[in-house]
Structure 1
Amino acid sequence: MESIVKPPEKITLALSHTDSIAFNKLIHVSPQTIDKLIDAPALRKAIAKVFEWSTYRSSLSFKEYPRQVQLDKFYITRAFIKAIDAALASAQKSPVFRHSLVNSVLPAMFSAIDKTAEREEAFKRRYGFGPPRFLVLSPTKFCNLHCTGCYANSDSASREKLSFETVDRIIREKTEVWGSVFTVISGGEPLLYESEGKTILDLARAHQDNYFLMYTNGTTIDKEMARKLAEVGNITPAISVEGYENETDARRGKGIYKKVLSAMENLRAEGVPFGVSLTATKENAHLIPSKELVEYYTRLGALYFWIFQLMPIGRASMDLVVTAEQRLDMYNRMFDLIKNDRYFIADFWNGGTLSNGCISAGRMRGGGYLYIDWAGHVTPCVFNPYAAGNVNEIYTRGGELSEVLVSPYFESLQEWQKDYAMNDEKYEGNWVLPCPMRDHYADMLKILEKTNPEPTDEAAAEALHDPTYHAAMIQYDKELEQTIGPLWKKKYLKH
């Protein structure tokens, strides 16, 4: 046994035979048991050890993927367990959030989870492959900020939004048809969404069987909003920053950082679990992630960190994109923090080994997702602005969301994922460079030309026919391959 993780004392022999059984029992504990765990830090610590040991064994027993890929997954799972423990400790100080979590959210989610296997099997029988695990939904383009390089090109003049009826149906359908209980909300600014007199809080309240990760600029989270989030209980805000005050205000506007700190204080007071969303550019890549930055926001109450490297879409340009050398440095720092300090950090691009590569277009081999924007466009990914269909049109004619998964565009991307990951039991791809849109634009361009999806905005349409843009993206990919490409073979395929 390696020194990566030590088995819990006195239960090593039992776990050697029954660790999978123990793990299954632990994830089916009752809400009442979790309520007791909130007041029992020593018991939580013991259970965390059982989870760690079970996860380690199950990760390395899976031989289909390289050993280091499986170790990466173990490290991030271990960090996730630490974050969950911190969230439960925080709930001890918040009777409002605790009551909602134990009496409303967990019973509804556990009931839905019990139906997941049955729903997944029904989906497989119908389509021949597994359903997506989640989706990202941007119900509104409206935002009270005007950030440099915004992927969504959002601002206060943007009024496009989905009706609440449509948003409600999307969540219901993904839950009942896919067996999915996790939803990501983006924007625009989600907390400014309103339709038919209802808001994001009403959506979360109507779907207590889902847990919502909501990306927000945090400027509207005053004490009253923090209390409402605690009462709902199934939303975790990921607050956007660019580093510290100078970096955040430079991109988001003067005074925004102070509002962000106030939002964090309000959420912490109510026991609402929250994290930080960081956009990495050429100008702040030295900070994202850094141990100092992660420790700073952890002290403020953040439980997790999401990193998004600026994509040259929307208002962004290649001038702000992190360099290949910066990306490699970010990769090394991120995995050092995950492995050695147990921080839960996920980089949408540098974390490819954690998800077995690209998960866009619903990925038919499991674990995939898709994106729906404020106009109803259904795209493979938040950062891939080309649509296979429109949910408004689909619902109007009596269809269902899942039909986009078998569109020529999505199927072409799914085939690319399959070929790039595994081909005749050989590793053909490089999960350190997993993204067809960002890391393999020449391949992406061929798929776009072959399947002719609909651009979601004018900038996306222009990019399709801009040879200068094509050349810049392809040159960037060559630099990535030269700088980061060797890491896959050196670190992951050496065994």
Structure 2
Amino acid sequence: MTIKEYITNIRTALRVPLECSPRLIWKLMYNFAWRNFINIRQFEKRQAQGKPFFPAFIMISVTEKCNLSCSGCWVTARGTKSLSLQQLDGIITESKKKGSYFFGILGGEPLLYKGLFDIIEKHADCYFQLFTNGMLITEDVAMRMKKLGNITPLISIEGLEQESEERRGKDDVFHKTIEGLKACKKAKLFFGAAASICKGNYNDLVNREYIERLAKEGVHYLWYYIYRPVGANPNPANALDEDEILDLRKFIVEQRKSAPLMVIDTYWDDEGNALCPAATGMSHHISPGGAVEFCPPLQMARDFINEDGSNLTDVFENSQFMADLRAMTAETSRGCILLENPQQLVSFVEKHQAIDSSTRQTVLQEFKDMSPVAGHDQKGKEVPEVNPLYKAMKKKYFFGFGAYG
């Protein structure tokens, strides 16, 4: 990296203390950064010593309800399942007993879940990343999040105007999402944007102009995913090929040298080796129906939380299904088994008599109908990190936002 790039990195880092409310910064540094550091060390120690399993952090889909119907989404369109407030409270309470204070809150659209902010307020010692399409973030909602102080909204943008409407099944999606960004900026929140990169939005979103546009809207971090064609209406033709995935990786690494915001990924370690967080046991998922799942799009389960979530620790420590699934996926690939080998996954869930945990009850057939598509495990083509700070953070710490090392 050049001196100019180092200076740019410093300026990017200073955006957070200069632009965000001081109380939010304190919550970010203590609830997320410090507590998550301790949590990761405890998780690694449990794994190394062969102690009973509990993931480092949990993704929680609180409801299937959504105001959009996106192509390639695993959430059941017009689904009605939701966790009870008692279950959500129990999941968080049980996790805190194991040292985990960071949670990803997903949907559907989590802002349609009544009582969410009340639970977040109750657990003021935790930190929550809210995965949202941003269309429901009004100035009042943003100010409520500011008052709570322990939420970072992560706003999904799946393309510019045309692609957003085509992909998400509704008019004026992009404009309303941008209004959500503006409300977050006005409230001085620490917030991010996310994108599931596919052929349809690659040219729109994988470029420096788009990054700079988000930075001007106040976005502090950008999280790139790889599109997975799953759900009732998958579009495998929209999946990236190997060259596009490799180019995306190179773009992410290059932009981390000088981008005006933090560029995040979930798929590679500091040396560019592929990773699956669920296969390592770092992260698992709770569905709106209470199923304890490997990851959000893998909607097959053998274990469920009870009416108040108090059995969560027991489920994780004693689930043979989850232990076998972690082992099988880790042995198969460092990448995503859903993309690379869906038929092996089908054989596994049939052998273990896993239950469809979705409302639509067609997940197993959806998996059977899938054909392999390119994944991010491309041995011999690894692209190591070049930003020394990000490389060190990935190797030693950077965890909650999805960069695992």
TM-score range, shorter chain: 0.7 to 0.9
Paired AA for residue 338 in structure 1: R
The alignment status of 1:152 with 2:72, answered yes or no, reads no
Unpaired runs of at least 5, structure 2 = 386-405
Could you tell me which residue of structure 2 aligns to residue 295 of structure 1? Answer: 212
Q: 1:180 pairs with 100, 125, 138, which one?
A: 100
Tell me the percent identity: 22
- Aligned-residue Cα RMSD (Å) equals 3.5
Matches within 5 A, 1:64-463: 85-91=14-20, 97-99=21-23, 102=26, 116=39, 128=51, 131-154=54-77, 157-177=78-98, 179-194=99-114, 199-252=115-168, 253-314=170-231, 315-341=233-259, 343-349=261-267, 357-360=275-278, 363-364=280-281, 368-392=282-306, 395=309, 399-416=311-328, 419=331, 431=334, 434-457=335-358, 458-463=361-366
Matched residues in 1 for 2:260 and 2:207: separation? 13
C-alpha change, 1:336 and 1:101, in structure 2 (3 Å) is: closer
What's the CA shift for 1:462? 1.2
Per the alignment, in what secondary structure is the counterpart of residue 166 of structure 1?
helix
What's the CA shift for 1:486? 3.5
Q: Deviations over 1:74-124 (max 9, x none)?
A: xxxx97x87653221112xxxxx434654x776666895697489659966
Could you tell me which residue of structure 2 aligns to residue 41 of structure 1? Answer: none
C-alpha change, 1:107 and 1:461, in structure 2 (3 Å) is: closer
Instruction: Give the conservation status (yes or no) of the 8 Å contact 1:409–1:452.
Output: no
What's the CA shift for 1:170? 0.3
What's the CA shift for 1:210? 1.4
C-alpha change, 1:89 and 1:159, in structure 2 (3 Å) is: same
Per the alignment, in what secondary structure is the counterpart of residue 70 of structure 2?
coil
What's the CA shift for 1:351? 6.4
Per the alignment, in what secondary structure is the counterpart of residue 75 of structure 2?
coil
Matched residues in 1 for 2:230 and 2:215: separation? 31
Per the alignment, in what secondary structure is the counterpart of residue 287 of structure 1?
helix
Could you tell me which residue of structure 2 aligns to residue 24 of structure 1? Answer: none
Q: Deviations over 1:424-465 (max 9, x none)?
A: xxxxx6x5xx2222234354344334433222232312135x
Instruction: Give the conservation status (yes or no) of the 8 Å contact 1:387–1:453.
Output: yes
Paired AA for residue 306 in structure 1: W
Q: Deviations over 1:139-196 (max 9, x none)?
A: 1111122222222134xx332111101101101111112x1121101101111101xx
Matched residues in 2 for 1:456 and 1:486: separation? 37
Instruction: Give the conservation status (yes or no) of the 8 Å contact 2:16–2:190.
Output: yes
Deviates more, 1:108-117 or 1:244-253: 108-117
Matched residues in 2 for 1:145 and 1:171: separation? 27
Paired AA for residue 151 in structure 2: I
Matched residues in 1 for 2:49 and 2:237: separation? 46
C-alpha change, 1:335 and 1:324, in structure 2 (3 Å) is: same
C-alpha change, 1:322 and 1:459, in structure 2 (3 Å) is: farther
Paired AA for residue 159 in structure 1: T
Paired AA for residue 184 in structure 2: L
Matched residues in 1 for 2:148 and 2:209: separation? 33
Matched residues in 1 for 2:270 and 2:346: separation? 21
Q: Deviations over 1:350-388 (max 9, x none)?
A: 669578721105x35xxx000111111111111222213
Could you tell me which residue of structure 1 aligns to residue 396 of structure 2? Answer: none
Matched residues in 2 for 1:117 and 1:388: separation? 26
Instruction: Give the conservation status (yes or no) of the 8 Å contact 1:136–1:370.
Output: yes
C-alpha change, 1:372 and 1:4, in structure 2 (3 Å) is: farther
Instruction: Give the conservation status (yes or no) of the 8 Å contact 1:391–1:401.
Output: no
C-alpha change, 1:99 and 1:284, in structure 2 (3 Å) is: closer
Matched residues in 1 for 2:173 and 2:160: separation? 11
Matched residues in 2 for 1:462 and 1:243: separation? 29
Unpaired runs of at least 5, structure 1 = 9-44, 46-77, 92-96, 421-428
Instruction: Give the conservation status (yes or no) of the 8 Å contact 1:412–1:447.
Output: no
What's the CA shift for 1:281? 2.1
Instruction: Give the conservation status (yes or no) of the 8 Å contact 2:61–2:106.
Output: yes
Paired AA for residue 337 in structure 1: Q
Could you tell me which residue of structure 1 aligns to residue 391 of structure 2? Answer: none
Per the alignment, in what secondary structure is the counterpart of residue 215 of structure 1?
strand
Could you tell me which residue of structure 2 aligns to residue 22 of structure 1? Answer: none
Instruction: Give the conservation status (yes or no) of the 8 Å contact 2:194–2:223.
Output: yes
Matched residues in 1 for 2:109 and 2:86: separation? 19
C-alpha change, 1:452 and 1:339, in structure 2 (3 Å) is: farther
Matched residues in 1 for 2:265 and 2:251: separation? 11
Matched residues in 1 for 2:317 and 2:146: separation? 35
What's the CA shift for 1:126? 9.5
Of structures 1 and 2, the one with the larger relative CO (CA 8 A, separation 6+) is 2
Paired AA for residue 86 in structure 2: E
What's the CA shift for 1:419? 4.1
Per the alignment, in what secondary structure is the counterpart of residue 390 of structure 1?
coil
Per the alignment, in what secondary structure is the counterpart of residue 487 of structure 1?
coil
Could you tell me which residue of structure 2 aligns to residue 57 of structure 1? Answer: none
Matched residues in 1 for 2:145 and 2:364: separation? 38
Per the alignment, in what secondary structure is the counterpart of residue 438 of structure 1?
helix
Instruction: Give the conservation status (yes or no) of the 8 Å contact 2:305–2:315.
Output: no
Per the alignment, in what secondary structure is the counterpart of residue 362 of structure 2?
helix
What's the CA shift for 1:230? 0.7
C-alpha change, 1:277 and 1:113, in structure 2 (3 Å) is: closer
Instruction: Give the conservation status (yes or no) of the 8 Å contact 2:152–2:191.
Output: yes
Matched residues in 1 for 2:67 and 2:243: separation? 34
What's the CA shift for 1:334? 1.6
Q: How many residues align?
A: 380
Paired AA for residue 462 in structure 1: Q
C-alpha change, 1:383 and 1:4, in structure 2 (3 Å) is: farther
